[in-house]
């Protein structure tokens, strides 16, 4: 597919019958890192993990289809900075149900319920319930169905319904259209609208983790989430997901959570090795991007955050890591493509030629 990386509006000319010529805005795909915070810590107001992917034409700011992948802390505020109202989101997709990826959903949906109870609903796409060998179940569906539970228990819902009976009686969950899928190693289509197709694979991190690919006429993007290798600890070839690598073949952009090798068992940070090993390192993500032929690697969910001397309770180093520290770790893989690393609201736009 031909496209160009652009932040400048452009237009293609379309010849119509009768000799008339009309400017027709080109299809575009925009990818925005709505939050680059890695894991539950807070640091300098960074938002929690999330990626906005929108597709449309340049005359409507690529906004025919608006998709949000993960909704970490502060997602609604970040979307407001981009001029995306809560009611404009077409679908939300979840890599997994860890709070750093999901805690922004109640906020987003409560706002939508407050002012937009008449609809439309939001598709919420994620994995089926998965029960682990230890006996607990990870349930995206249960999360979605219960986002208003605390507000119902507190009486707020009853009070707000009393003042406006047109609101949906079950609270914000009533505005979710929950669509779950059984995770598979091979890509499967999980959502479609017009020219936009979203496919998914099962990937390892915690039970029910999924990674996604969005294909559009303007380009394609893979959102890896927190995916790691199916082999949970060394010895293994690398820390990245083989399923994500296959999904990313020929993609224009990969957005992926990253951990810097300094957090590994040799780095003296004290960061728990099992938590380190279930993420993908910067160097190994460079290797994945190189093998998959990806043009742009966008690093998000930074562990540790840029400039942070600590990741939660774990010491990084005085002054923290710089963008060059992350990019240098990627380059050790030999990857020569574009590497993009935060901050929040970093964006890439592809325009069809
Ligand atoms: Zn995470």
Name residues whose C-beta falls within 8 Å of residue 136's C-beta, 6 or more positions apart in sequence. Answer: none
Q: What distance in angstroms lies between residue 337's CA and the mean position of ligand 1's atoms?
A: 25
Q: What would the mean pLDDT of 150-176 be, rounded to a whole number?
A: 96
Does residue 14 form part of some domain? no
What is the CA(38)–ligand 1 centre distance, in A?
Answer: 6
Q: Is 9 a residue whose pLDDT tops 80?
A: no
Give residue-wise pLDDT tens across range 236-283: 999 999 999 999 999 999 999 999 999 999 888 999 999 999 999 999
**What's the gap in Å between 39 CA and the centre of ligand 1?**
5
Q: Convert 80-94 to b/e letters by CB count within 10 Å (16 or more is b).
A: eebebebeebbbbbb
Distance 184 CA to ligand 1 centre (A): 21
Query: Under DSSP, is residue 141 helix (H, G, I), strand (E, B) or coil?
Result: helix
For position 176, what pLDDT does the model report? 98
Instruction: Let me know if residue 286 belongs to a domain.
Output: yes
Question: Is the pLDDT score of 7 beyond 50?
Answer: no
Among candidates 301, 280, 219, which has minimal Cα distance to 253?
A: 219
Instruction: Read off the pLDDT of residues 130-160 as tens digits, 9 standing for 90 and up.
Output: 999 999 999 999 999 999 999 999 999 999 9
CA of 296 to the centre of ligand 1 (A): 21
CA atoms within 13 A on the CB side of 300: 34
Tell me how far the alpha carbon of residue 150 lies from the centroid of ligand 1, in angstroms: 24
11 located within any domain: no
pLDDT band at 317 (very low <50, low <70, confident <90, very high): confident
Cβ-based neighbours of 12, under 8 Å, separated by 6 or more: 23, 24, 25, 26, 353
Q: What is the pLDDT of residues 283-299, one digit of tens each?
A: 999 999 999 999 999 99
Give mean pLDDT, residues 19-37.
82
Dist. CA 159 → ligand 1 center (Å): 35
**CATH number of the domain within which 109 lies:** 3.60.15.10
**Contact call for residues 195 and 57 (beta carbons, < 8 A):** no
| Residue 311 token pair | 């990741």
Are 72 and 337 in contact by the 8 Å Cβ rule? The answer is no
Predicted confidence (pLDDT) at residue 335 exceeds the cutoff of 80: yes
Q: Is 294 inside a domain boundary?
A: yes
The pLDDT, as a whole number, for residue 178 is: 98
How many Cα atoms are found within 13 Å in the side-chain-facing hemisphere of 105?
Answer: 35
Return the pLDDT at 156: 96
Mean of the pLDDT values across residues 79-89?
A: 96
The Cα 47–Cα 104 span in angstroms is: 10
Q: How confident is the model at residue 23 (pLDDT cuts 50, 70, 90)?
A: low
Query: Residue 21 domain-assigned?
Result: no
Of the ranges 17-31, 117-131, 175-189, 306-320, which one carries the lowest mean pLDDT score? Answer: 17-31
Reported as a single tens digit per residue, the pLDDT across 64-75 is 999 999 999 999
Q: Return the pLDDT at 344.
A: 98
Is 115 domain-assigned? yes
Of the chain, the end-to-end C-alpha distance in Å amounts to 9
Q: Number of folded domains in the chain?
A: 1
* Residue 34 CA to ligand 1 centre (angstroms): 14
Q: What is the pTM of this model?
A: 0.94
Kindly tell me if the per-residue pLDDT of 200 is higher than 90: yes
Q: Residue 92 falls within a domain, yes or no?
A: yes
- d(CA 271, CA 64) in angstroms, rounded, equals 42
β-pair partners for 352: 3
Question: How far is ligand 1, taken at its centre, from the CA of residue 204, in Å?
Answer: 12
Question: In this structure, is residue 13 part of a structural domain?
Answer: no
Mean pLDDT of 3-23: 40
Per-residue burial over 233-256, b = 16 or more CB atoms within 10 Å of its CB, e = otherwise: eeeeebbbbbbbbebbeebbbbbb
**Residue 21 confidence (pLDDT) above 60:** no
Tell me what pLDDT residue 342 has. 86
Other beta carbons within 10 angstroms of residue 327's beta carbon come to: 17
Residue ranges making up the domain that contains 130: 29-352
Rounded distance from Cα 302 to ligand 1 centre (Å): 9
Question: Residue 2: what pLDDT?
Answer: 62
Q: Rounded to 10 degrees, what is the CA torsion of 131, 134, 140, 146?
A: 110
Cα 301 to averaged position of ligand 1 atoms, centre (Å): 7
Residue 98 Cα to ligand 1 middle (Å): 7
CA of 351 to the centre of ligand 1 (A): 30
Report the separation in Å between the CA atom of 37 and the middle of ligand 1, taken as the mean of its atom positions: 8
């Amino acid at each position: 597919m031909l496209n160009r990386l652009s932040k400048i509006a452009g237009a293609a000319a379309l010849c119509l019958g009768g000799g008339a010529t009309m400017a027709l805005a080109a299809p575009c795909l925009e990818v925005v890192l709505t939050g680059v915070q890695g894991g539950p810590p807070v640091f300098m107001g960074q938002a929690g993990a999330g990626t906005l992917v929108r597709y449309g034409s340049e005359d409507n700011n690529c906004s025919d289809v608006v998709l949000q992948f993960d909704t970490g802390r502060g997602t609604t505020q970040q979307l407001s900075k981009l001029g995306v109202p809560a009611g404009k989101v077409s679908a939300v997709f979840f890599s997994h149900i860890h709070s750093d990826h999901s805690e922004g959903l109640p906020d987003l949906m409560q706002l939508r319920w407050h002012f937009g109870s008449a609809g439309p609903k939001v598709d919420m796409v994620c994995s089926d319930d998965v029960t682990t060998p230890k006996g607990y179940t990870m349930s995206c569906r249960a999360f979605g169905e219960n986002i208003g539970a605390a507000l119902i228990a507190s009486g707020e819902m009853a009070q707000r319904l009393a003042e406006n009976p047109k609101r949906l009686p079950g609270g914000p969950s009533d505005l979710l259209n929950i669509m779950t899928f059984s995770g598979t190693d091979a890509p499967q289509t999980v959502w479609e609208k017009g020219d936009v197709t979203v496919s998914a694979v099962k990937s390892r991190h915690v039970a029910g983790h999924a990674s996604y690919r969005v294909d559009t006429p303007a380009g394609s993007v893979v959102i890896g989430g927190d995916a790691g290798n199916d082999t949970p600890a060394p010895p293994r070839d690398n820390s990245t997901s083989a399923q994500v690598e296959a999904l990313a073949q020929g993609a224009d952009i990969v957005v992926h959570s990253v951990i810097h090798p300094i957090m590994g068992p040799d780095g003296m940070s004290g960061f728990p090795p099992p938590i380190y090993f279930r993420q993908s390192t910067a160097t190994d993500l460079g290797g994945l991007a190189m093998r998959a032929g990806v043009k742009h690697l966008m690093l998000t969910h930074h562990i540790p955050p840029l400039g942070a001397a600590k990741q939660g309770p774990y010491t990084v180093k005085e002054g923290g890591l710089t963008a060059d520290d992350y990019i240098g770790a990627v380059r050790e893989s030999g990857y020569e493509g574009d590497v993009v690393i935060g901050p929040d609201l970093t964006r890439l736009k592809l325009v069809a030629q």
